[in-house]
Amino acid sequence: MCGIVGYIGNKEAYPILIKGLKRLEYRGYDSAGVALISKEHQLNVYKTKGRVSDLESFVTQKDISGNIGIAHTRWATHGEPCSINAHPHYSTSETLALIHNGIIENYAVLKEKLQAKGYLFKSSTDTEVLVQLIEYIKTTNHFDLLSAVQLALGEVIGAYAIAVLEKDHPNEIIAARKSSPLVIGIGEDEFFLASDATPIVEYTDRVVYLEDEEIAVIRRDEELKVVNLSNVETIPAVIRVKLNLGQLEKGGYPHFMLKEIFEQPGCITDCMRGRINLDKNNVVLSAVIDHKEKLLRAKRFIIVACGTSWHAALIGKHLIESFCRIPVEVEYASEFRYRDPVIDADDVVIAISQSGETADTLAAVELAKSRGAFIYGICNAIGSSIPRATHTGSYIHVGPEIGVASTKAFTGQVTVLTMLALTLAREKQTLSEPAFLAILQELGNIPAKMKEVMALNDQIAELAKIFTYAHNFIYLGRGYSYPVALEGALKLKEISYIHAEGYPAAEMKHGPIALIDAKMPVVVIATHNGLYEKVISNIQEIKARKGKVIAIVTKGDTIIRQIADCCIELPETLECLDSLLTTIPLQLLAYHIAVCKGMDVDQPRNLAKSVTVE
């Protein structure tokens, strides 16, 4: 989950590394550090607890010269956030410096062996064990750095993306990966490396995504060399990436999260572009065209995901079962991968991940593949690990999401799942033509209706001021709105640190109703759909116990307005598309409550954007 970046070329490395860390800070912000080989061939390591801005202050008046360097922003796994545990880590001789994203699972065993040989450790990290192991192998066997890294990684159990500098070789970076992402950027007489492409695209659009157990030998004035742990050389596949740099800036918004909430109408338009043809009343997903027989023959769909993507998966289950009459199971990837699931060749496993690097989801994909299932990926990050591991899939095309709390990725995932369900339903003829056309046409109207919801921002900001006092929230919904309730509660927890729980509205009376009192705000998604009357009954039960009700209703609703304490009115849409609108006021409510409480909205404590470790 940490962010790593590196540079070798003819430019000063430090400014490129710092800018890269700022691009990657959503991956971790407990501490930050940089290692540079100066023009006098000194290996200088500077690191500190806190944000990248703290690192910038720390290095003032220090020697930050050099044309080669590596840098790191940390999300703590082993060892508390502090300057000692921050990366890069020196070897004992201080001739090597290493940065690492991942977890070395057998670090304790390796550390004990190295301590028996006289090695001393300054930090409590697993990463320092790796750099000491590399140095031990290198000095004991008189190996070069590449050979030492290969042998050391052969002893490692776990996940890693690493980059290593050696003081005596100022023209070389050794980088390697296994189960953690690593991208090499190829420029003119220069190379870049990073956890993802965002720090690289400003300088080059030519990148190489390292595969598991591949090692990149990056040398000044030489071609990129890629080998495996057995030193077998492979030809790197260079691909071109396109990324709008404007999407990586706040664009006048106070936070990335607010910017990304407001980007949703345009993002959903981009997601549907080239896939939905309203004039011809058709939806086309190339993945379905190319693999139609396999998808239509499926006896069962299994959707694996984590966090917000799991909430989107619950909506996908409802859509696919309703439209296509195919049974769908939704699994937390972290549970699926460890419980010996029953999978066969007639199953289709759909893996959903914004980053395409979620460790548990990637492991679930590999497990399902090994059992013969057909794998369909739904991701945002082009070229990431999950799309490369799946048989086919669809990108959501919502652009980079920098705010840690996911917003536009959720609605993008739901949009792709809707298009997938519609495509399969037409092929299977399980949805009547009038119903198909009505849903398709209304899906095309969703971006415009999202803009109407955005106009409620000021109203929701005022509403948020009333509820900053709360210590707990309950979110309720039924049918398609139940996953939205879960997602709304998650957003509030993530960025405001207020405890919140989502429930199916009817389940409230099976326990949670005991919590209801005058101090308990309850958010109820109560748009006018098939369960509307049932939800009214649930609201009345809350009000009978003096609960404070914030209701998300359809524009023109008069019944719930008379009962609820506050109402947020949304444009009318079809029930199956409701979640694309109802989630937005919940995103805005969480955002404004967090801002009122003075929280760091984009970088909430203990969280990171891309969960690349277990």
Active-site residue 449, yes or no? no
Dihedral over Cα of 536, 542, 545, 546: its sign: negative
How confident is the model at residue 608, as a pLDDT?
Answer: 66
Contact call for residues 460 and 594 (beta carbons, < 8 A):
no
Q: How far apart are CA 26 and CA 75, in angstroms?
A: 10
How confident is the model at residue 343, as a pLDDT?
Answer: 94
Q: How far apart are CA 40 and CA 35, in angstroms?
A: 14
Contact call for residues 13 and 591 (beta carbons, < 8 A):
no
Contact call for residues 75 and 30 (beta carbons, < 8 A):
yes
Cα angle 542, 544, 549; round to 5: 35
Neighbours of 430 (CB within 10 A): 16
What CATH code would you report for 250-453?
Answer: 3.40.50.10490
How confident is the model at residue 532, as a pLDDT?
Answer: 84
**Residue 607, amino acid:** L
pLDDT in tens, 297-307: 999 999 999 99
Enumerate the domain spans of the chain. 3-243, 250-453, 457-596
CATH superfamily of 457-596: Glucose-6-phosphate isomerase like protein; domain 1 (3.40.50.10490)
Question: The pTM is what?
Answer: 0.85
What are the residues whose beta carbons fall under 8 Å from the beta carbon of 570, sequence distance 6 or more? 449, 452, 453, 527, 552, 553, 554, 555, 581, 582, 585
Active-site residue 576, yes or no? no
What are the residues whose beta carbons fall under 8 Å from the beta carbon of 106, sequence distance 6 or more? 155, 156, 157, 158
49, 138, 449, 609: which is the annotated catalytic residue? 609
Q: How far apart are CA 160 and CA 179, in angstroms?
A: 6
Going by the DSSP 8-state scheme, the letter that residue 173 receives in this structure is E
Hey, which residues does 103 pair with through a beta bridge?
159
Hey, which residues does 548 pair with through a beta bridge?
521
Nearest to 384 by CA among 236, 191, 202, 195: 195
Q: What is the mean pLDDT of the chain?
A: 92
Nearest to 580 by CA among 507, 525, 508, 523: 525
Domain 3-243 has CATH 3.90.1150.110: no
- In this chain, the answer to whether the domains covering 250-453 and 457-596 adopt an identical fold is yes
Contact call for residues 379 and 386 (beta carbons, < 8 A):
yes
How confident is the model at residue 451, as a pLDDT?
Answer: 97
How confident is the model at residue 513, as a pLDDT?
Answer: 82
What are the residues whose beta carbons fall under 8 Å from the beta carbon of 506, sequence distance 6 or more? 478, 534, 538
Nearest to 27 by CA among 134, 137, 102: 102
| Three-state secondary structure string covering 7-26 | EECCCCHHHHHHHHHHHHHH
**Residue 108, amino acid:** A
2, 324, 567, 576: which is the annotated catalytic residue? 2
Question: How is the chain split among helix, strand and coil, in percent rounded to 5?
Answer: 40, 25, 35
pLDDT < 50: residue spans in the chain: none
- CA–CA distances in Å: residue 314 to residues 331, 352, 392: 9, 11, 21
Label residue 245 exposed, middle or buried (CB < 10 Å: 0-12, 13-18, 19+). exposed
- The secondary element (H helix, E strand) that includes residue 458 is helix 457-466
Give me the phi and psi of 310, to 5 degrees please.
-65, -35
How confident is the model at residue 610, as a pLDDT?
Answer: 63
Give me the phi and psi of 101, to 5 degrees please.
-120, 125
**Which DSSP string corresponds to 469-535?**
T-SEEEEEE-TTHHHHHHHHHHHHHHHH--EEEEEEGGGGGGTGGGG-STT-EEEEE--SSTTHHHH
